[in-house]
A and B are shown apart, each in its own frame.
Chain A
Amino acid sequence: MSILVKPNTKVLVQGITGSFGARHAQLSIDYGTQIVAGVTPGKGGQFFEHGGKKVPIFDTVAEAMKQTGATASAVFVPPPFAADAILEGADAGLDLVVAITEGIPVRDMIRVKRAMQGNTKTRLIGPNCPGIVTPGEGKDSHGGCRIGIAPGYIHKKGNIGVVSRSGTLTYEAVWQLTSRGVGQSTCVGIGGDPVNGTSHLDVIKLFNDDPETTGIIMIGEIGGSAEEEAAEWIKANCKKPVAGFIAGSTAPPGRRMGHAGAIVSGGKGTAAAKIAAFKDAGIGIAVTPSEMADTLLKMM
């Protein structure tokens, strides 16, 4: 099992005709993901062709869903139009919208988040995230569902859930697991922006309820208080071992460390406070990022 997406989940790509969207649609098709449609307003009726597959392109998400049965989308639309694309996915009633786009203005996301409040049908992951991977059973986890930009081959089907704000740090954790012969149920990158659709806690709850997930790696970073909230819930409710790492102990206050949300401001959002919350919740602390997998495996 897995959370959010399964190998047979039908995926559409919003922005499939842009170079970034096209490149990763190709990689997802190569990975064996069911990419069934593309959406680019004005290009409906055309086809996206790759590896012998002809993926139909539609003007709207609603039409793409109707014609292909897609239930999830990957958003690669450029920042000025990305909020619109997310809202279109929610309006059409997708189960899952994964916004990969980096650089969406905060004001746009504040409105999207508020507009989606109370929407129990559509879950948003991201923006500014690597996406989500549920590994498949084939060689190098081929045949899985890859929505986003993560390298598919580093995964292995198994029972560890991984949730992180950062892309490369997720890959690092996944690779550590796979290199030790340990597979993953689902890996979720929730994104590095200050306003995002799905929090660490949301994903932790899903992993906790997933019978096939037996352990969790949670990777956080400086800024905000999402890690502390997740830790508090884990302390009271989580039935599964959780190991964690927080990036940014050495980051100077008041400076954004690459991610729009990775900033210590007004003494809030420090790595020290997050690590203390993890410890208090019984989460295994990886002292260095090299020990994320080993820290969890020791607990299991």
Chain B
Amino acid sequence: MNIHEYQAKQLLAQYGVAVPAGAACKTVAEAKDAAEKIFAAGHKLAVVKSQIHAGGRGKGTFKHGFQGGVKLAKTAADCVTSAENMLGKTLVTKQTGAEGRVVGTILVAAAEDIKKEFYLAVLLDRAVSKPLIMASTEGGVDIEEVAEKHPEKIVKEHIDPLIGFKDFNGWKIASALGLSGDLAKQAVKLVGAVYKTWWECDAAMVEINPLCICVGPDGKEKLIAVDAKIGLDDNALYRHPDIQAMRDLAEEAPLEIEASKYALNYIKLDGSIACLVNGAGLAMATMDIVQHFGAMPANFLDVGGGASKEQVTAAFKIILSDPNVKGILVNIFGGIMDCNVIATGIVAAVKETGLKLPLVVRLEGNNVVAGKKTLAESGVAIINGDTMSDAAQKIVKAVGK
């Protein structure tokens, strides 16, 4: 699960990470209020940031023509203008796709006087199964590009999960970033706090880009997390009801939300062949074989190991509500589950949904003969696929007609 920037900053602040003063606002009035407080506190500049999960907000464009999902403001009135143009409006960025995302919340915050930008992240290093802190002097830019062109500019520090973060880990990072004196001390504390956020919240990733040296109104230099992103480990959400409450359903595809109600793992894609498969690996492989034979999959759909008639029917309904779908490929390897039960479920689902599109079913495994007989005698137009390859070719051909 992903959360918004303002939510990530709330979590980080709870662990002692400095973030710019500001407030999340859902109305223009709230934005006006927040802006006035920021200017009253002596800040010269504020920033209004659209809260959507996709990146590229700054360079994005709203559908009604307003430029930029992140805007600087010199006065509270400027903040209000931006708020009016963002709230309830649709922002299109390079990551949202053409449909864009509706901005439901904006973050109005003090715009800091930035002297230098760094990159800081905590994530799992799968190769060694240990937490990894990554930092770079190249902040505020695309870190993947830095990793590719200047790998030497990325500092990596593994943390022993049984011991946790120790100050020396922080000093190694501060020193590699070229920090000294008070700023180095601040960095040690901050990196430790970011690590603690990652660990205690069961995050998949915490990314602060940029982490900035900012000059305060008093002239003192301070390390502040100017932007932040947190992704959570879905498997651990049961331990964090407070974080679960941060879920924003508006950021998720409606069909995926509907699928999750039936314990179906569904991801919408752009192709025309819908796939209904048991098992994640087989579901991916089914998508691949559809592409291999010249069409594109409309979705990933894993109905799980014990797909019931209700699940299969729900799966058909979800698939059919995607207007791009021109044909359906069902691929079931019934290891333990009875193919005949699945076949009965498919027939019932076809009848209930009044399916008109071509349907190819490939059944294999336990009680497959009875399953195929049920399909054949159902009176429903089902094309039988003997192998994955045969089934994929048949559906691609049927749709191509």
| Residue in contact with B235 in the complex, picked from A104, A250, A255, CB distance below 8 Å | A104
A224 and B129 form a contact (CB under 8 A) = no
B269 and A149 form a contact (CB under 8 A) = no
A169 and B335 form a contact (CB under 8 A) = no
Query: Which of B63-71, B72-80, B277-285 is the contact stretch?
Result: B277-285
> Quick one: which of A229-272 are within 8 Å of B by CB?
229, 245, 247-252, 255-262, 266-267, 271
Task: State whether the Cβ of B291 lies closer than 8 Å to any Cβ in chain A.
Answer: yes
| Chain A residue nearest to B336 in the complex (CB) | A151
| Chain B residue nearest to A153 in the complex (CB) | B366
Task: State whether the Cβ of B16 lies closer than 8 Å to any Cβ in chain A.
Answer: no
How distant is the Cα of A80 from the Cα of B237 in the complex, in angstroms?
11
Q: Which residues of A contact B389 (CB under 8 A)?
A: 288, 290-291
Whether A249 touches B126, Cβ cut-off 8 Å, given contacts A168-B279, A258-B283, A266-B144, is: no
How distant is the Cα of A219 from the Cα of B234 in the complex, in angstroms?
25
- Give me the 4 closest cross-chain CB pairs, A-B, nearest first: A166-B281, A258-B280, A168-B279, A151-B335
Q: How many A-B residue pairs have CB under 8 A?
A: 173
| Chain B residue nearest to A219 in the complex (CB) | B281
Whether A290 touches B387, Cβ cut-off 8 Å, given contacts A154-B365, A257-B300, A260-B234, is: yes
A171 and B333 form a contact (CB under 8 A) = yes
Give the size range of B's interface with the partner. Answer: 35 or more
Task: State whether the Cβ of B33 lies closer than 8 Å to any Cβ in chain A.
Answer: no
How distant is the Cα of A281 from the Cα of B280 in the complex, in angstroms?
26
B233 and A149 form a contact (CB under 8 A) = no
Task: State whether the Cβ of B117 lies closer than 8 Å to any Cβ in chain A.
Answer: no
B199 and A288 form a contact (CB under 8 A) = no
| Residue in contact with B285 in the complex, picked from A107, A151, A169, A261, CB distance below 8 Å | A169
Task: Given A114-B130, A247-B288, A250-B297, output 8 extra A-B contacts at Cβ < 8 Å.
Answer: A149-B336, A153-B366, A166-B282, A167-B335, A226-B126, A250-B287, A255-B300, A267-B144
Task: State whether the Cβ of A10 lies closer than 8 Å to any Cβ in chain B.
Answer: no
A80 and B238 form a contact (CB under 8 A) = yes
A262 and B284 form a contact (CB under 8 A) = yes
Q: Which residues of A contact B282 (CB under 8 A)?
A: 166, 168-169, 172, 247, 289
B23 to chain A, nearest CB (A): 29
A273 to chain B, nearest CB (A): 13
B79-116 Cβ-contact flags toward A at 8 Å (1 or 0): 00000000000000000000000000000000000000
Task: State whether the Cβ of A99 lies closer than 8 Å to any Cβ in chain B.
Answer: no
B123 to chain A, nearest CB (A): 9
Task: State whether the Cβ of A105 lies closer than 8 Å to any Cβ in chain B.
Answer: yes
How distant is the Cα of A159 from the Cα of B281 in the complex, in angstroms?
24
Give the size range of A's interface with the partner. Answer: 35 or more
> Quick one: which of A95-133 are within 8 Å of B by CB?
103-111, 113-115
> Quick one: which of B377-401 are within 8 Å of A by CB?
387-390, 392
Q: Name 24 interchain pairs, CB-CB below 8 A, sorted by A.
A: A80-B238, A105-B233, A106-B204, A107-B233, A109-B129, A110-B161, A113-B129, A114-B161, A115-B162, A150-B335, A151-B335, A154-B365, A164-B281, A167-B335, A175-B365, A195-B124, A221-B281, A252-B267, A257-B280, A257-B283, A257-B284, A258-B265, A289-B388, A290-B388
How distant is the Cα of A267 from the Cα of B144 in the complex, in angstroms?
8
B367 to chain A, nearest CB (A): 11
B278 and A168 form a contact (CB under 8 A) = yes
Task: State whether the Cβ of A192 lies closer than 8 Å to any Cβ in chain B.
Answer: yes
Task: State whether the Cβ of A5 lies closer than 8 Å to any Cβ in chain B.
Answer: no
A115 to chain B, nearest CB (A): 7
B346 to chain A, nearest CB (A): 17
| Residue in contact with B281 in the complex, picked from A194, A259, A290, CB distance below 8 Å | A259
